[in-house]
């Protein structure tokens, strides 16, 4: 039987993100990193740099104090 990989999709509202980096530390798969661009409020924001590695655990969303992250399975 083939191995089934858990997959997810992370969506970050860059204009809600304040760049606290809590989500980056919470992600067990290294999906997120800080962008080199800034948002409308002048903050560097998180972005998915390895989106195919997302397992949909939603630890990033749970750690976000600004509710800027949604995770879909």
pLDDT tens digits for 4-52?
Answer: 777 999 999 999 999 999 999 999 999 999 999 999 999 999 999 999 9
User: What pLDDT does 43 receive?
Assistant: 98
Q: Provide CB contacts within 8 A for 2, sequence distance 6+.
A: none
Question: The pTM is what?
Answer: 0.90
The confidence score (pLDDT) of residue 61 equals 98
Residues 59, 15: Cα–Cα separation, whole Å: 20
Domain residues of the chain, as ranges? 9-72
Using 50, 70 and 90 to split pLDDT, how confident is the model at 3? confident
* Cβ within 8 Å of residue 52, ≥6 positions away: none
pLDDT of residue 1: 67
Tell which CATH classification among 3.30.1280.10, 3.30.70.20, 3.40.50.2300, 3.30.1600.10 matches the domain 9-72.
Answer: 3.30.70.20
């Amino acid at each position: 039987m083939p191995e089934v990989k858990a997959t997810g999709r992370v969506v970050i509202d860059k204009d809600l993100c304040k760049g606290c980096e809590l989500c980056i530390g919470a992600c067990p798969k290294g999906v997120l990193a800080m962008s080199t661009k800034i948002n409308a409020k002048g903050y560097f924001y998180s972005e998915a740099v390895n989106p195919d590695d997302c397992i949909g655990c939603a630890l990033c969303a749970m750690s976000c104090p600004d509710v800027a992250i949604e995770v879909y399975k």
